[in-house]
Amino acid sequence: MPTSRFDPIGEALTRHLRALLGRDPQRSDVAIAWSGGADSTALLIAALRALPWEEGAPPLLALHVDHQLRDGSGADAAWCQDTAQALGPGLRLMSLQLPEGPQLAARPGSIEGPARKARYALMGRALRADAPRRPALLTAHHADDNLENLLLALGRGAGLTGLGGIRSAIGLEGLSGAEEDRGIVVGRPLLGLRGGELREALIAIGQRWREDPSNALLDRRRNQLRHQVIPAFLETAQGEAPVFRSLKTLREDRELLEAVVREAFEETRAPTPWYRTGGVALERRRLAALTPLLRRHVVRRALVEAGVEHPPDRASLTRLVEGASRTGIVIEVHGGQVEVEPRLLMVQAGEAGVKAPPTGQVGLEGAPGRATWGEFVLEARLEGVVGRDAWLARCEAAEGGGPGARSLAVLDAGEVEWPLVVRRAGRGERVARFGGGSKALRSLLSDARVARAARPWAAVVCDGGGNVLWVPGVVRTRAALISGDTRELLILSWGPAIADE
C-alpha cells in the first residue's frame, strides 16, 4: 500500500527512467523542465524523493525558462529560485531567459508552436553546455494533457498518428530542431496520472506552486477544452476510466501502425545515390507494390527522415503519392521536395543537393596506368588476345549500369592513340554506337534510365586522336573494335575512386 500520495508518482517516474536508460536512474541522469506550475512542481518533488543522492554527487537539475511572454514571468522565476534553495543541495536550478520571447509575444496568431520549439532549443543548448551530460529531460505532461491533445487533433482532422496522443519519449532534436541535441531524450513519465492526483500530492505535503493566469483565458482553444468541453464530456461519459482507456488503446494502435510502416519503409528504402549529397531514397518498384494507404505512410516517413519539418496533410500527401508515378517531375512540399527519378523517389529537405562533376579533363599517358576524374578512376592495362572471349563476356555483363557503375571496355590496343582523355560530354554530343548508327548521348542516357541528376557525370573517354572510345556505364562506341587482326587487348575499367583505394 502506498504510504504517500507521491508514491505512485515516484513509481511512475522510476519505471519510466529505467525503460529509457536501461538501468536504475540517478539524479545526475535527469533534468526536469520546471515552470513552477503544479504539474512540473509535483514531478520535481517526486524526482527528489525517488532518485538517490549522496552529498558531493551531481544533484538533480531543474531548468526554468522565463519566456518573457507575459507580465509576472519574472516573479515565477524568482519563486523557483527561492523554492529550489529551500529544497536543499540535492537540487540545482538553472534559470534561462528566452531571448526571442518579446518578439514572439508581438506576433499575430498562435505562438504556442514557435514558443515551444524555442524553449526546447534553449534547454538543449543549456544541457549541452552543462556537465555531467544528462541523457533525460523530463516534462510533466499527464493524462489530462493527453485528452486535450486528442480533442485538438480531432478538430484538425488528424489520423491515428495524431490521435495517439503525446509520446512517452521523443528525441530532443525532434522538438528543438537542433541535430546537436541528438542523444538527449525528452521523457513524459506522468502520462498515466491525472492532473488532480498531482495537485493532491502537493497539497498533502503543503507544497505551493505558481498559477499561470493565461491558463484561465477562454479565448484559447486549449483552455476552452480544459475548462468547458472536457468537464461536460466526462460528465456524460460512462465514467472517466473508459475515456482514458481509449487513449491508451489509441496509443497502442499507433505503435502497431508505426511498426508496420517502419518495416515497409526499411524494405523500400535504398542507399542515397552517389550523385546526391543527402536525402532519403525509396525504390519506386517496391513502393508501387505497397497498398495505397501504406504507400502514403511510407512517403510521409521518408519526409520526416529527410528532415522536412512539416510533412503535408493527408490530402496533399495523397496528391503527392499519385503524382510520384511520373518520371522526371519535381514535387515541391513545404520545407523540401520530392524528385521522381527512373528507379528512385528522392525525398529531400530544402533544395536538392546534387554533386557537381569536374569541369576539366584528365589524361592517361599509357598502360598500365590510372587517372582520377572526380569521384571515379579510369584504369588501363594491356593483355594478350588469348583470353579475349572471357574479357568480352565480362565487359558485356558489366555494361549498362549508368555513369556511376563499375564497368569494363575491351579495345584493340593497336587502334588506340595515346594519351587517353576523360572529359564531360559536350552539348548535343552524339556517339557512334557499337551496333551501328549514331545517337545523341542525351537520348542514350534517357534510354538507360539514368537519373537526370546523374547525367552530367557521364564521362567520355577519348583517345589522342579525338576518337570517342567509351562512355562508361552507358555505351561502347565503334572505335578500336577487336577483330581477327587484333594482337593486343587494351582493358579499361571504370569505378568509384573510394572503392579502389
Q: Are residues 230 and 276 in the same domain?
A: no
Instruction: Look at residue 418 in the predicted model and tell me its pLDDT.
Output: 94
CA distance 425 to 38: 69
Q: Are residues 370 and 447 in the same domain?
A: yes
Residue 242 resides in a domain: no
Q: Are residues 183 and 282 in the same domain?
A: no
Instruction: Look at residue 482 in the predicted model and tell me its pLDDT.
Output: 84
- CA atoms in the 13 A half-sphere facing the CB of 200: 10
Query: Between the CA of residue 21 and those of 183, 407, 413, what are the distances in Å?
Result: 11, 49, 65
Q: Which of 60, 61, 32, 26 is nearest to 188 (CA)?
A: 32
Instruction: Look at residue 36 in the predicted model and tell me its pLDDT.
Output: 94
Residue 90 resides in a domain: yes
Instruction: Look at residue 1 in the predicted model and tell me its pLDDT.
Output: 42
Residue 295: which H helix or E strand, with range? Answer: helix 292-306
Partner residues linked to 62 by β-bridges: 32, 93
Instruction: Look at residue 289 in the predicted model and tell me its pLDDT.
Output: 95
The CATH number linked to 317 is: 3.30.465
Instruction: Look at residue 170 in the predicted model and tell me its pLDDT.
Output: 95
The CATH number linked to 232 is: 3.40.50.620
CA distance 419 to 380: 11
Residue 86 resides in a domain: yes
Instruction: Look at residue 428 in the predicted model and tell me its pLDDT.
Output: 87
CA distance 8 to 476: 75
Count of residues for the chain? 501
DSSP conformation letters of 230-291: HHHHHHHSS-HHHHHHHHHHHHHHHHHHHHHHHHHHHHHEEPPPTTBSS-EEEEHHHHHTS-
Q: Are residues 62 and 198 in the same domain?
A: yes
Number of domains in the chain: 3
Asked if residues 324 and 340 have their Cβ atoms less than 8 Å apart, the reply is yes
Phi, psi for residue 124 in degrees, rounded to 5:
-60, -45
Residue 482 resides in a domain: yes
DSSP conformation letters of 97-152: E-TTHHHHHTSSS--HHHHHHHHHHHHHHHHHHSSSPPSEEE----HHHHHHHHHH
Domain that holds residue 26: 7-236
Examine the fold and report which residue of 296, 318, 349 is the final residue of a domain before the chain moves on: 349
Q: What is the mean pLDDT of each run of 10 residues along the chain (501 residues)?
A: 80 96 94 96 96 92 84 86 95 88 66 84 94 94 93 88 92 91 96 94 95 77 86 83 90 95 97 92 95 94 88 84 85 88 91 85 93 94 79 60 86 93 91 82 89 92 93 89 87 79 43
Residue 241 resides in a domain: no
Residue 393 resides in a domain: yes
Q: Are residues 143 and 228 in the same domain?
A: yes
The CATH number linked to 425 is: 3.50.40.10
DSSP state of 375: T
Q: Are residues 345 and 368 in the same domain?
A: no
Examine the fold and report which residue of 315, 349, 383 is the final residue of a domain before the chain moves on: 349
CA distance 264 to 170: 21
Q: Are residues 306 and 449 in the same domain?
A: no
Q: Are residues 27 and 69 in the same domain?
A: yes
Does pTM top 0.75 for this prediction? yes
Residue 247 resides in a domain: no
Q: Are residues 186 and 308 in the same domain?
A: no
CA distance 193 to 190: 5
Q: Cβ of 415: how many Cβ atoms within 10 Å?
A: 18
Phi, psi for residue 437 in degrees, rounded to 5:
75, 175
Instruction: Look at residue 222 in the predicted model and tell me its pLDDT.
Output: 85
Residue 259 resides in a domain: no
Q: Are residues 341 and 373 in the same domain?
A: no
The residue written with cell numbers 505562438 in the block is 111
Asked if residues 37 and 211 have their Cβ atoms less than 8 Å apart, the reply is yes
Q: Are residues 87 and 47 in the same domain?
A: yes
Asked if residues 299 and 317 have their Cβ atoms less than 8 Å apart, the reply is yes
Q: Are residues 338 and 393 in the same domain?
A: no
